[in-house]
Structure 1
Amino acid sequence: MKVTQAHTFARSDRSRLGVWWWTTDRWMLGVVAALFVIGVLMSFAASPAAAARLDVGDPFHFAVRQCVFAAAGAGLLVLVSMLDARGVRRTAFFIYIFAIAVMIALPFLGHTAKGATRWVEFAGFTFQPSEFMKPALIVLVAWMFAEGQKGEGVPGVTIAFGLYAISVALLLIQPDVGQTVLITVAFGAAVWMAGVPLSWVMLLGGMAIVGLASTYFLFPHVASRVDRFLSPERADTHQVDRAAEAIAAGGLFGRGPGEGVMKRHVPDLHTDFIYSVGAEEYGLVLSLLLVALFGFLVVRGLYRAMKLTDPFEQVAAAGLFVLVGQQAFINIAVNLNMIPTKGMTLPFISYGGSSMLAISLTLGMALALTRRRPGAYSTGQGLANAGAFA
């Protein structure tokens, strides 16, 4: 009797799912899957304490919701990563228009919390449009830079800067300085990858530094956070102190799953400070693992982006990976008290529907752009278009 072995995705499988499996970077897929799993595990660790702190009856209320968000995010990531470059551009265009329209309406329809109006409440859920605007902006900016390089009269650079300016203006109205910094860094990476002359890059960098410094004088909450960071002995640093104690208490291997104590005293433990919860229960091992996973994802993503031959795909993919890496860096740095506090979620790990779906969209687009296709990759220099605007 002849026994045949069935393969879920044989190399000869030309179905859409089969082609996707063999053309997508499976190392990055594995890292993303690991982050999804860790995020769900962390939600179960943080949910009981968060529910008790917020007076929610079901101790696993946040964990169950996070499982739903993770499942939806994984499905969205796979669907978006199946798109071709044209599909990514079209998706980004419609998402940007929708997100900007909602951001314009926020002063009239938005939900205000902690002194900012960044969310829209609907059917028991909160939607933060700026989370979806970020990846869409980077893709559109890369598209405009690529169109400008063709020399066909399209004012790509002007349009790209216009899109960026609109986004920053709406973010500062909320206000959301952290997201402004995030998209500015990613935009700067896109500008550099597009081959804009170094003098322009330096000028833009100088303007960004001046703009960031001015927020200290324009926004009281920014000044308060900076003052607390620079002079902790003269300010209330309860949140950061409790997070630091939780990280220190974890030691090398942690207290064990569900055995964390300090998480009961850490505000926003299931969102902005989930990293400290994981550090207390699983120790330095998990802390370094998370850093390694994000580091691998960004470095491998940038490497693949630099090998692409199409200017749009190259710039867009690099900008998206920078966006993910920068967000992870900011969250971890806040938890370690390396920078002033900022309400920035840890991708795939922190609780939140908007955050989970938006980061899934971001990486879905990045994976779609870096898929192996005929002629997509060069064997030579990745930055083939450097100096195109010179």
Structure 2
Amino acid sequence: MLSYFKNIKGDKAIWGIVALLALFSFLPVYSASSNLVYVVGNGTAVSHLIKHAFLLLLGFGIIYGVHKIPMHFFKGLSIIAMPIVLLLLGYTLAQGKTIGGANASRWINIPFVGFSFQTSTLAAVVLMIYVARYLAKIKNKVVTFKESILPLWLPVFLVVVLILPANFSTAAIIFFMVLTLTFLGGYPFKYLLGIVGTGIACLALFILIAKAVPDLFDNRIDTWENRIANFFNGEDTSEDYQIERAKIAIASGGVLGKGSGKSVQKNFLPQSSSDFIYAIIVEEYGLVGGLVVMFFYLLLLFRIVVVANANPSVFGKLLVVGVGLPIVFQAFINMAVAVELFPVTGQTLPLISSGGTSIWMTCLAIGIVLSASNKNPVKEKKVVDESNPLDVLSEQL
């Protein structure tokens, strides 16, 4: 075990932040799992805690393995992984799973292991690496919009379109993160305005077709409309019930909270161990606990910016921002939903909420950031190992 610690590389502050968030997660997950046990009738609190520990252990294994991969390998890996991701997204959507008549095709079952996998989370990480690779390639070059359509925007729109029918919030976050990365990467702003307009037009067309021909394909448009409408007018619905319970939990927490495991609303709040776990944290640990959690995510953001700024390569800078920024962005969306600053989205709190895929993909992204934070990163101009196909492909791309 000590040999593993000696081999840990990369930004030690990020390692520490991630470890502290993961260790802290055991307390609210164990407490909130009582909702699954006594209300839903699913397992025991200990079994959920053991499952969470297993998922985190595997997640840290992913971090350790990925952070040992040289940063430039991710260029070639993104090219290889992109068509695989598109096939997985297509297969996931084609399953046609529905809940209450709405499209719920978000997961695929992994044979023999009893786990389901949310393909959109993998797609998000792969796409951000792919976009970072392209932006690094065209840096200091004059590229027309027409030249960037096929290599950049076609994969982006394919990923978003395949995720959109089943998961609007994830599709919107991915699209926004891509726009943010391309802006930071120096892609012409006038072209970005055209992409935003095209995206809005495509979304409007999708909604119009779904409304005009509701039997054409399953979708969640009614759910989107209800959540947005409820956010603005406060009608009593299931989503409004979640928000009201979350606000009761936060209000009853006070400054110092009720104490670990003493939440009352965890027994009434659906998804209390995942989507609304921040409300349980504030109820049990108060305003102080909620601010401390927020502080650690801000600290993680600060270290991501430091690592990106310190990396000597353009690809390294964009890679760190591309895979690191969505982690913090998702965390603040989760917190904003709990305090009704944002409509219900179904986004988990990274490294704290229960759930396998979200933990693993967050750990994958963190491993990539740590790979780029190694003290001796690979320069843009390097000696290519001709015997390594990924090295050759990375250099060519």
User: How far apart in 1 are the matches of 2:232 and 2:198?
Assistant: 24
User: How far apart in 2 are the matches of 1:266 and 1:92?
Assistant: 39
Structure 1 counterpart of 2:155, from 163, 170, 173: 163
| Pair 63,205 (structure 1): closer, same or farther in 2 beyond 3 Å | same
Q: Deviations over 1:300-354 (max 9, x none)?
A: 2023213333121111211112211111111111011101111111101111101
Alignment match, 2:224: 222
Are 2:114 and 1:138 aligned? no
User: How far apart in 1 are the matches of 2:243 and 2:207?
Assistant: 20
Alignment match, 1:4: none
Q: Which amino acid in the other structure matches residue 234 of structure 2?
A: P
Alignment match, 2:114: 124
User: How far apart in 2 are the matches of 1:157 and 1:80?
Assistant: 31
Aligned pairs, how many?
Answer: 361
Superposition TM-score, scaled by structure 1 size:
0.84
> Residues 226-305 of structure 1: matches in 2 within 5 Å?
226-233=228-235, 235-236=237-238, 237-305=240-308
Alignment match, 1:345: 348
Give the CA deviation at 1:254: 1.1
CA contact (8 A) 2:121 2:361 kept: yes
Equivalent position SS for 2:171: helix
Structure 1 unaligned spans of 5+? 1-7, 10-15, 378-390
Greater relative CO (CA pairs within 8 A, separation 6+): 2
CA contact (8 A) 1:242 1:265 kept: yes
Are 2:28 and 1:36 aligned? no
User: How far apart in 1 are the matches of 2:66 and 2:148?
Assistant: 25
Equivalent position SS for 1:238: helix
> Residues 1-390 of structure 1: matches in 2 within 5 Å?
18=6, 20-21=8-9, 24-109=10-95, 111-113=97-99, 115=102, 116-122=104-110, 123-149=113-139, 158-173=150-165, 175-208=166-199, 219-233=221-235, 235-236=237-238, 237-373=240-376
| Pair 97,17 (structure 1): closer, same or farther in 2 beyond 3 Å | farther
CA contact (8 A) 2:71 2:377 kept: no
Equivalent position SS for 1:55: coil
Q: Which moved more, 1:52-61 or 1:145-154?
A: 145-154
CA contact (8 A) 2:139 2:186 kept: no
CA contact (8 A) 1:148 1:156 kept: no
Once the two structures are aligned, what percentage of the paired residues are identical?
A: 25
Alignment root-mean-square deviation, CA: 2.7
Q: Deviations over 1:134-178 (max 9, x none)?
A: 1111001111222233769995664121211110110113x2111
Superposition TM-score, scaled by structure 2 size:
0.83
